[in-house]
Amino acid sequence: MQIERGTTALYVSSKGDPFVRPRLLNFYRDTDIALGGLSKWISIDSSAFFQVS
């Protein structure tokens, strides 16, 4: 996911460089495959992110 994110930022900052686009699409595919291979997501109590001190 980190590689996909970095390549997305590169693509956007390059204003759609045609050299970067095919690589980005490959990283999207790779990320989708990797996430699809996960057997289970962890469970997180999301209320912990909204606590105000």
The predicted structure's pLDDT at residue 39 = 80
The predicted structure's pLDDT at residue 51 = 65
Of 20, 36, 19, nearest in space to 8 by CA = 20
The count of structural domains within the chain is 1
Residue 46 in domain: no
Residue 22 in domain: yes
The predicted structure's pLDDT at residue 29 = 95
Range of the domain at 15: 2-34
State pTM to two decimals: 0.66
Residue 42 in domain: no
Q: Considering only 2-6, 16-20, 37-41, which range has the smallest mean pLDDT?
A: 37-41
Instruction: Give how far Cα 34 sits from Cα of 27, 30, 31, 38, 47, Å.
Output: 10, 6, 5, 7, 28
6-26 pLDDT, tens digit each:
999 999 999 999 999 999 999
Residue 41 in domain: no
* 27 token code pair: 């990283």
Residue 17 in domain: yes
Residue 12 in domain: yes
Asked if 3 and 27 count as a contact pair (C-beta separation under 8 A), the reply is: yes
Spatial separation of the C-alpha atoms in residues 10 and 48, rounded to whole Å: 33
Rg of the chain over Cα atoms, rounded to whole angstroms, equals 16
